[in-house]
């Protein structure tokens, strides 16, 4: 509405300008009148055309207005037609995409093989695995993650899910437990063969015996044997440890193992003797005292256990035992 | 060795790694079925891994087997000498690319199945996707290297390249088998996997019905192998490894078998499971529910009932695991359980009656385990034994498997009056405790324990062997249960209907 008024006003001014010239008078006053009317008309047509321009061409405002005005003013009649036609033509053109500016960048140092991570970071593994309502796929991934965790921690978790309702979970857990066990049993078989073939009293014989003691203990330590099998593994390990001790009676580490085995088999007195021997052979106190305290506890000697734990209180190097030490040091 | 040959047959059985070269539950079942229908002319396609993996035939071929073909997927024919650079058919390789895109696309499997149907006939001899192009053409190389760049999370291209090759090579072999096979009026596969894939191909090109009877669930059993297998490489270093992810090659193999199963399910109708849980598993793996139903195994009472009279008055302290010595049977758990059984009943013996040639490495591990547990004298490896001779001498059949379907051994034991102790897998609980209320009312015919729990297995066995009254009761319940629900007559009646329908079907 406003625009049509603009153009009507412009036409009115222009026609009055020309009509004043057409009267034939050639005085300066008439020329001035014509120029004034023509300028007003040009200004109106310029603002009319400016309003129609696509916004990206309408800036900066003043120069564009001046240009349009100049066209209309300096080229009478044709200038008007040109400005209007030009604006109309511009409106028909498809908008041109802005020019993108490219610049070279360095390739980021990302390992492409890391691309498809699942980002599974679950705390509380046991609770999560035991939750049979959780999506199977996430639980499977949680299980797979257990592959990189030591057997002592992973085995009980894996055994827990052997009774899971989902067969996939059960089977994966079984497979992982089985392969841990398989590796140990393979090693046991190798060392047993080696022991069998070694000449008596040779260094090789002693080495194989020690390794067998270690491997059977490992079955227990990684919690891979339960019940009678655990007992069997303990007795095997004990047998080999005693054989090794016969050849190397002053080995403190062997005495410590001997004590652990005796203790696990429920023989606290024999265990204590072995621990004492390890101590006299120079095994650091921090390693032996917690076991001695355990033996004292097993024997219902609570005062003894407390005395031992108090002794430990002076040592700062046992962060995992701190709560236990703190408990026993309370008076 | 010459095999029977014929120009055509009624039913063509597609058997992977089973009858007649491997003895076991599925093989006995196939033997049973063939002999139950003497009027039907059977052809058999046996598919194995390598010729060296199998000895001689373990079963005499019934007379109505008119045709037998034996193929080994991993006996490669001599490779093409000095292959020339070549181009493959671009349209065919585009189809391959599309198919693999569909595989990766989560959601409906229909586009993948459709892409598969389009590309499958092209691998047949004369098609636009010959094996040579897969092995040597530029297009194949490009698809493989693109797959590696875009998908593979394992850094080794060499391993990726050869995994792709070794994985796909058998498909062309199967296509050649399908192409050359004699015509049959219906195809019957006893597993998905390679045999199932062959069935799907045959169904598509010959337009005859494909019947699928699954005992175990093939895809699942493959997964067990793949989770455990140590030959699949993982080359990721400690920085590249996401601890929650299986190695890429392991995932590739698992997906491969999942899709092989899908193709087979899509082509097969009917799809028969042994019991409800397996049927549900088939449906979850892509089988259309309306095509599935259950037919439980059944055994011949005539054969086993007379054995009951041969039993001694008190149960012999012999625990017997009847089955192949392979990891899925978890023979090691049985051996471990024997440690405890011998602690409690020093005169007890554990027998392992089954062939050891299928996985000699595992069999050796089992023997070593018995030795390291100090019970080598109580655990006896008997090799393959005739079940009829075994049954009167044993007190319990033991099943320590980590996966089973509906084990014939339990039923055979029942029929001969021998109760069982089994792990809680497949339909074992239903076989021991009963399924429907009437069945359950009979009482337990043995005991069920968790997998990989030697202590519980031993305790259950000791409880039965140490209490003659409980043993007698379980034995009687077993006999009643097998006579009522698991006879071969019931099973044959089902299959008679299945075969009649398939043989009478019009060409698709």
Quick check: is A167 in a domain? no
pTM: 0.74
User: 3-class secondary structure for B366-432?
Assistant: HHHHHHHCCCCCCEEECCCCCHHHHHHHCCEEEECCCCCCCCHHHHHHHHCCCCEEEECCCCHHHHH
Chain B CB contacts of A148 under 8 Å are 243
The backbone torsions φ and ψ at residue B275, rounded to the nearest 5 degrees and listed phi first, read: -160, 170
Q: Other C-beta atoms within 10 Å of B176: how many?
A: 15
What is the edge-to-edge ordering of all strands in the sheet holding B420-423? B379-381, B349-353, B318-322, B396-399, B420-423, B446-449
Chain A CB contacts of B230 under 8 Å are 179
Yes or no, beta carbons of B365 and A172 under 8 Å apart: no
Yes or no, beta carbons of B332 and A178 under 8 Å apart: yes
Evaluate whether B446 touches B430 at the Cβ level (below 8 Å): no
Per-residue pLDDT of chain B (508 residues; tens, 9 = 90+): 688 999 999 999 999 999 999 888 889 899 999 999 999 999 999 999 988 888 889 899 999 999 999 999 988 776 677 888 889 999 999 999 999 988 888 778 888 999 999 999 999 999 999 998 999 999 999 999 999 998 888 889 999 999 999 999 999 999 999 999 999 999 999 999 999 999 999 999 999 999 999 998 888 888 877 876 777 778 887 777 777 677 889 889 999 999 999 999 999 999 999 998 899 999 999 999 999 999 999 998 998 999 998 888 788 999 999 999 998 899 999 999 999 999 999 999 999 999 898 889 999 999 999 998 999 999 999 998 988 999 999 999 999 999 888 998 999 999 999 999 999 998 999 999 998 899 999 999 999 999 999 999 999 999 999 999 999 999 999 999 999 999 999 999 999 999 999 999 877 6
Quick check: is A16 in a domain? yes
Distances in Å between the Cα of B351 and the Cα atoms of A314, B345, B348, B386 are 59, 15, 10, 13
Quick check: is A175 in a domain? no
Q: Burial code of A249-259, b = ≥16 C-beta within 10 A, e = fewer?
A: eebbebbbbbb
Quick check: is A184 in a domain? no
Yes or no, beta carbons of A185 and B336 under 8 Å apart: no
Last residue of a domain, one of A91, A111, A137: A91
Owner of token pair 């003043």: A62
Last residue of a domain, one of A91, A126, A143: A91
Chunk chain A into consecutive blocks of 10 residues (it has 331) and report each block's average pLDDT, rounded to whole numbers: 73 77 71 82 83 75 85 80 81 66 70 47 70 81 81 88 86 88 92 92 90 94 91 95 92 94 94 94 88 92 88 70 77 57
pLDDT value for A25:
64
Interface residue ranges in chain A relative to chain B, Cβ cutoff 8 Å? 111-118, 120, 141-142, 144-145, 147-148, 159, 162-163, 167-168, 170-172, 174-179, 181-182, 185-186, 188-189, 192, 226-229, 232, 236
Evaluate whether B166 touches B251 at the Cβ level (below 8 Å): no
For chain B, domain boundaries: 82-179+241-254, 301-486
SS3 B10: strand
User: Quick check: bond before A60 cis, omega within 30?
Assistant: yes
Instruction: Give the closest-approach CA distance of B317 to chain A in angstroms.
Output: 19
pLDDT value for B187:
96
Instruction: Give the closest-approach CA distance of B503 to chain A in angstroms.
Output: 37
Quick check: is A242 in a domain? no
pLDDT value for B508:
62
Chain B CB contacts of A171 under 8 Å are 220, 223-224, 227, 402-403
Among B156, B219, B227, the strongest candidate for a mutation testing the A interface, having the largest count of A CBs within 10 A, is B227
pLDDT value for A24:
64
Q: What are the residues whose beta carbons fall under 8 Å from the beta carbon of B227, sequence distance 6 or more?
A: A171, A172, A175, A176, B246, B250
Instruction: Give the closest-approach CA distance of B152 to chain A in angstroms.
Output: 7
Evaluate whether A142 touches A168 at the Cβ level (below 8 Å): no
How many domains are contained in chain A?
2
How many pairs of residues across A and B have Cβ atoms under 8 Å apart?
Answer: 103
Yes or no, beta carbons of A229 and B243 under 8 Å apart: no
Among A114, A118, A141, A175, the strongest candidate for a mutation testing the B interface, having the largest count of B CBs within 10 A, is A175
Chain B CB contacts of A147 under 8 Å are 243
pLDDT value for A116:
45
The backbone torsions φ and ψ at residue B119, rounded to the nearest 5 degrees and listed phi first, read: -90, -25
Residue B246 touches chain A, beta carbons under 8 Å? yes
Quick check: is A50 in a domain? yes
What is B301-486's CATH topology?
Rossmann fold (3.40.50)
- Which residue in the set B244, B327, B455 is minimally distant from A228, CB to CB? B455
Last residue of a domain, one of A72, A91, A110: A91
Chain B CB contacts of A226 under 8 Å are 454-455
Residue of B nearest to A115 (CA): B153
Q: Which of A92, A87, A90, A12 is nearest to A47 (CA)?
A: A87
For residue B189, list its beta bridge partners.
B14, B212
- Which residue in the set B149, B152, B245 is minimally distant from A118, CB to CB? B245
Yes or no, beta carbons of A229 and B336 under 8 Å apart: yes
| Structure token digits, residue A247 | 């050849």
What is the value of ipTM here, to two decimals?
0.76
- Give the residue numbers spanning the domain of A308: 268-331
Quick check: is A115 in a domain? no
pLDDT value for A2:
66
């Amino acid at each position: 509405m406003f625009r049509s008024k603009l153009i009507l006003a412009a036409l009115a001014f222009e026609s009055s300008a020309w009509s004043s010239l057409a009267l034939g008078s050639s005085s300066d006053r008439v020329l001035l009148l014509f120029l004034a009317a023509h300028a007003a008309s040009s200004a109106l047509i310029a603002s009319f055309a400016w309003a129609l321009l696509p916004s990206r061409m309408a800036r900066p405002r003043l120069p564009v207005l001046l240009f349009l005005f100049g066209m209309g003013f300096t080229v009478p009649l044709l200038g008007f037609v040109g400005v209007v036609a030009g604006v109309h033509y511009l409106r028909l053109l498809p908008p041109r995409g802005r020019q993108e500016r490219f610049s070279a960048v360095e390739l980021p140092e990302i390992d492409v093989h890391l691309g498809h991570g699942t980002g599974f970071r679950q705390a509380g593994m046991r609770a999560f695995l035991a939750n049979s309502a959780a999506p199977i796929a996430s639980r499977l991934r949680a299980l797979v993650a257990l592959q990189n965790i030591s057997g002592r921690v992973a085995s009980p978790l894996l055994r827990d899910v052997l009774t899971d309702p989902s067969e996939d979970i059960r089977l994966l857990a079984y497979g992982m437990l089985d392969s841990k066990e398989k590796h140990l049993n393979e090693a046991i078989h190798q060392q047993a063969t080696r022991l069998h073939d070694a000449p008596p009293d040779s260094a090789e014989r002693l080495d194989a015996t020690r390794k067998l003691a270690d491997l059977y203990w490992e079955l227990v330590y990684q919690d891979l044997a339960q019940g009678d099998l655990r007992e069997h593994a303990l007795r095997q390990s004990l047998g080999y440890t005693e054989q090794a001790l016969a050849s190397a009676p002053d080995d403190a580490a062997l005495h410590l193992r001997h004590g652990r085995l005796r203790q696990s088999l429920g023989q606290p007195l024999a265990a204590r003797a072995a621990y004492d021997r390890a101590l006299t052979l120079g095994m650091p106190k921090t390693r032996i005292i917690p076991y001695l305290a355990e033996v004292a506890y097993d024997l219902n000697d609570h005062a003894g256990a407390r005395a031992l734990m108090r002794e430990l209180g002076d040592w700062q190097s046992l962060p995992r035992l701190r709560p236990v030490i703190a408990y026993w040091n309370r008076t | 060795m010459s095999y029977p040959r014929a120009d055509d047959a009624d039913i063509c059985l597609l058997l992977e790694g089973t009858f007649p070269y491997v003895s076991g539950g599925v093989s006995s079942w196939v033997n049973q079925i063939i002999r139950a229908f003497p009027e039907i002319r059977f052809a058999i396609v046996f598919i194995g891994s390598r010729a060296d993996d199998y000895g001689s035939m373990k079963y005499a071929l019934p007379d109505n087997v008119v045709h037998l073909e034996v193929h080994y997927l991993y006996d490669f024919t001599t490779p093409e000498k000095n292959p020339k650079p070549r181009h493959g058919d671009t349209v065919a390789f585009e189809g391959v690319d599309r198919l693999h895109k569909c595989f990766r696309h989560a959601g409906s499997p229909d586009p993948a199945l459709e892409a598969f149907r389009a590309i499958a006939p092209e691998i047949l001899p004369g098609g636009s996707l010959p094996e040579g192009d897969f092995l040597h053409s530029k297009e194949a190389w490009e698809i493989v290297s693109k797959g590696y760049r875009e998908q593979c999370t394992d850094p080794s291209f060499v391993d990726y390249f050869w995994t792709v090759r070794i994985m796909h090579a058998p498909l062309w072999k199967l296509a050649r088998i399908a192409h050359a096979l004699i015509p049959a009026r219906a195809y019957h596969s006893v597993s998905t996997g390679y045999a199932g894939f062959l069935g799907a191909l045959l169904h598509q090109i010959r337009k005859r019905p494909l019947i699928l009877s699954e005992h175990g669930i093939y895809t699942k059993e493959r997964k067990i192998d793949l989770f455990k297998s140590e030959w699949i490489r993982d080359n990721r270093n400690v920085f590249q490894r996401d601890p929650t992810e299986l190695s890429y090659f392991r995932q590739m193999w698992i997906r491969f078998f999942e899709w092989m199963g899908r193709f087979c399910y899509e082509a097969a109708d009917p799809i028969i499971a042994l019991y409800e849980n397996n049927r549900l598993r088939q449906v979850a793996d892509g089988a259309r529910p309306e095509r599935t139903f259950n037919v439980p195994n059944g055994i011949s009472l005539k054969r086993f009932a007379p054995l009951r009279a041969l039993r001694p008055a008190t149960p012999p302290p012999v625990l017997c695991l009847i089955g192949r010595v392979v990891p899925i049977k978890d023979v090691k758990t049985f051996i471990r359980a024997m440690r405890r059984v011998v602690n409690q009943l020093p005169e007890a013996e554990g027998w392992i009656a089954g062939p050891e040639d299928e996985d000699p490495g595992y069999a050796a591990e089992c023997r070593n385990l018995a030795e390291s547990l100090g019970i080598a004298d109580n655990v006896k490896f008997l090799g393959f034994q005739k079940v009829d001779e075994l049954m009167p001498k044993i007190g319990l059949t033991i099943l320590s498997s980590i996966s089973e379907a509906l084990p014939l051994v339990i039923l055979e034991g029942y029929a001969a009056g021998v109760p069982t102790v089994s792990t809680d897998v497949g339909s074992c609980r239903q076989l021991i405790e009963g399924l429907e209320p009437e069945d359950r009312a009979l009482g337990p015919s043995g005991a069920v324990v968790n997998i990989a729990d030697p202590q519980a297995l031993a305790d259950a066995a000791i409880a039965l062997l140490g209490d003659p009254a409980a043993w007698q009761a379980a034995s009687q319940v077993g006999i009643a249960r097998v006579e009522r629900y698991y006879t071969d007559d019931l099973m044959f009646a089902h299959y008679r209907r299945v075969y009649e329908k398939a043989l009478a079907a019009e060409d698709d």
